[in-house]
Amino acid sequence: MNLPNALTLLRIFFVPMLVAALVQGHMTVNLGVARITNEMLALGIFLLAAATDLLDGYLARRWGQITTVGTLLDPIADKLLVSSALVSLVEVRVVPAWMTIVVIAREFAISGLRSIAAAEGYIIKASDFGKVKLVSQVVAISLLMLSMRWLELRAIAIGAMWCVVVVTVASAILYFRSFWRKVDIKVKRRRRRELLMKQTRERRLLKQNPLTPPADPAKSAGAKGIR
């Protein structure tokens, strides 16, 4: 396993730590003279995990270590990180549940599209708009975590989440417009090719084993009368 893929897996391992830090109310960690609250700990874990997303992509391109596993695993890790953070923030009543549902529903829809495309030989890479979507999510979730400590940031955080919802829906529409038609055309061509192959096999079988025409009942009766 190369380093970029290892960083992607590390991002997945950060998910349960992030959830535990967010839902654990009024927890503090003493580090000498510094005292870290649970929301600040969650923010640190989240930003560290988000940094691994930038680093693994950069290293994969820089070292020429872009693999199929990494291409498929990277968006899954991103979705787990963002979804777990949003669900946890709903649990502590920081963000409206419907916003989280819209974001997670989009992630499931794009994951389904990626699976269908992969089965047909296509690998859907993250677009520039998809990267903008991820950056907006990181900023909005970070502001939501900060608003747990400083309530005056709540309005700004909710405004950022509105931007996330808009960008999320727009990026989903672009993905489906770009790739669904390609996948649909390839599936139809494959099915047409399979049908033609089946018809060809049937014709060959007919040539190898021709069927004799059935006997005419009238002729059979006449032959019996002559006898």
Q: What is the pLDDT of residue 227?
A: 45
Distance of alpha carbon 65 from the chain centroid: 21
How many other C-beta atoms can be found within 10 angstroms of the C-beta atom of residue 203?
10
Q: Kindly list the domain boundaries of the chain, sorted by start residue.
A: 3-191
> How many whole angstroms separate alpha carbon 75 and alpha carbon 216?
69
Fold classification of 3-191 (topology level): Four Helix Bundle (Hemerythrin (Met), subunit A) (1.20.120)
Q: What is the pLDDT of residue 27?
A: 66
Distance of alpha carbon 214 from the chain centroid: 59
Contact 168, 102 (CB under 8 A): yes
DSSP classification of residue 67: -
Helices (H), 92-153: 97-119, 128-147
Q: What is the pLDDT of residue 185?
A: 74
The whole model's pTM is what? 0.74
Name the residue among 53, 79, 63, 88 with its Cα closest to residue 2: 63
Q: What is the mean pLDDT of each run of 10 residues along the chain (227 residues)?
A: 86 92 74 75 92 84 79 84 94 93 90 74 67 88 92 94 92 79 72 83 78 52 48
> How many whole angstroms separate alpha carbon 122 and alpha carbon 114?
8
> How many whole angstroms separate alpha carbon 92 and alpha carbon 20?
12
